[in-house]
Amino acid sequence: MSNNRSWLEIAEYISVGSSVIGSAIAAVSEQAIYGLAPVSLSLFLNLINRRQLEQLSQQNPAATAQVQQLRSAINSLSVANSKFKQDLQNLVPNQELTSIVSTVENLHQQHNSLRTSLVALQSRLEDLNSQFNKRPELEQIESLAIVITALKQSLDILPQPERLKRQSAELQQQVESALAQLSEKTAELSSNSERVNRLEDAIAQVQQQLTNFQ
């Protein structure tokens, strides 16, 4: 009798452990059969074991304390099993967790892509600034300004008799031509400057978006 009781207790503990594992599998796989089968077996073994314990307690009053302890242990296991099931139900589903991880990875890739784009834009801006500062138009404008200043000074010191009017008109024509060239070069330089400013504004917007993303 004692040997049968021992095997029943071992079987009961094994079935309780199986019910816990089956509950975990049922929560993950969403198939209740994995949790119901071990629980049913555990309850059946528990019923048989309880009847034998009651018979033993009637035959031997000294075993009453042991019966109470076993009942308390069984109840504790039942409560723990219920709590474990509840905790599994409260866990984040695997599909949702996978979606969250995928979203984080995509955001990380976008962040790295923005950084790479920003570095390329900064390098391009530096190249444009370097090319802009080395453009020959700047030297031409300075040369034209010097020529115009010299011509004006020459006109101011020239006498104004009739015989010098023709030379003065020619000089005046040269001055007007130089002014026209200066205006053309200045407009071209202004256009290039506007393009550089627009590029600087675009880079500033990208930097602001990257700052907001961080």
Q: Is the pTM for the entire model greater than 0.75?
A: no
CATH top-level class of 96-213? mainly alpha
Per-residue pLDDT 10s for the chain (214 aa) are 444 445 545 555 555 555 555 554 544 444 444 444 455 455 555 555 565 656 655 555 555 666 566 677 767 776 776 676 666 566 655 666 577 667 777 777 877 777 777 777 777 777 777 766 666 666 666 777 777 777 777 666 655 566 566 776 777 777 677 777 777 776 676 666 666 666 666 666 656 655 655 5
The answer to whether 24 and 88 have CB atoms below 8 angstroms apart is yes
Domain locations along the chain: 2-91, 96-213
Distance CA 195, CA 20 (A): 70
What the block records as the tokens of 73 is 């242990």
